Amino acid sequence: MAVFVGLDCGGSSSRVLAVGSEPDDILYQGQSGAANLVSTPESRIRRNLAHAIKDCPEPDFVCGCFAGLINEQIREKAIGLLREFFPSAELRAEPDYTAALYAAPGTDLCVIAGTGSLVCSRSGGKIVKSGGRGYILGDEGSGFYFGRDALVQFLNRRTEASPYLVNTVQEVFGSLEEPDIVAAVYRGPSPATVLAKLARAVGNDAAMGHDYALQSIERNMDALAKVIVGHILQHHTDQEEVRITLSGGVWKAGNHFKITLEEKLAGYLPKRHLQIAKLTKPPLRGAVELAREMNHGN
């Protein structure tokens, strides 16, 4: 029996799934910390991967889908990391967004908004993307930006902060004191990962009617909508109907994110029929499908 392993390695966590010949024949599941090939230190990636696959059975085919896989040189680095843990398997490394796209068969376009953000789809026989330049140069509508807005609100208007926001800050930083919080943000290996943990507070506060949260969602969803519109006009020019799948932690943080994005897109593309739905399968399932695809090619 062939064993297929998929890895979904992002800026916040890494997940592993091993299955047998049938997709529902689950042999192993594991999880650990971040494994972004650009922003996570290599020693930490190795440690997290080792923990995630600790009791994984020996696989025949492995596909690792990694955040930060931005060029062929980094792809080779990813293959090298996988080879350390799976020396006998056939290996494949892809960008993490590929896993989300494969987990949504039938979709035209996948919008990922987690720690970072990007838009991807199939076009001309290949997978193309827009956005995803990282939190310094892009990542519109990502958890990082929402989390930053939440933390700035807490630091600037602490007496007005909701109990949910206060509790979330305490949970993430272990302190409510500004010097401790600022030091933790800049001292950590990935500020984007830390701040993205506060995105759920924006979703909660928006539902409660807090102006800062509603304005944050309005502003950041508008920026993300413009990336999506640009992608559609470039890669899906002639499609009157476009099926869009939403993947990532932002869409789990509250209904206002999806509702606002739908409103923005309807305003920018009034003549297109857009079907927008959240991803129903975890991207990890897409990584497994990519591993299974390797077997089909033999």
pTM: 0.87
Q: What is the pLDDT of residue 295?
A: 85
Q: What is the pLDDT of residue 297?
A: 54
Pairing type for strands 117-123 and 273-278 reads unpaired
DSSP string, 177-209: -HHHHHHHHHHSS-HHHHHHTTHHHHHHHHHTT
Q: Which residues of the chain have pLDDT under 50?
A: none
Coil, strand or helix: which one is 245?
A: strand
Q: Which residue has the tokens 């494994």?
A: 35
Q: What is the pLDDT of residue 8?
A: 94
79-84: long-range contacts at Cβ-Cβ below 8 A with a sequence spacing of 24 or more? 81/45, 81/46, 81/49, 82/7, 84/46
Phi, psi of 26 (to 5 degrees): -80, 125
Contact (Cβ atoms closer than 8 angstroms) between residue 64 and residue 287: yes
Q: What is the pLDDT of residue 39?
A: 80
Q: Strands, E, within 124-237: which ranges?
A: 126-131
What topology is assigned to 104-280 in CATH?
Answer: Nucleotidyltransferase; domain 5 (3.30.420)
Class of domain 4-98+282-296: alpha beta
Q: Using CB atoms within 10 Å of the CB of residue 124, give its burial: 0 to 12 exposed, 13 to 18 middle, 19+ buried.
A: exposed
Residue limits of CATH 3.30.420.40 in the chain? 4-98+282-296, 104-280
Query: What pLDDT digit, counting tens, does each position of 16-73 carry?
Result: 999 998 778 899 999 999 888 988 888 999 999 999 999 999 999 999 999 888 899 9
Q: How many alpha carbons fall within 13 Å on the CB side of residue 118? A: 24
Coil, strand or helix: which one is 150?
A: helix
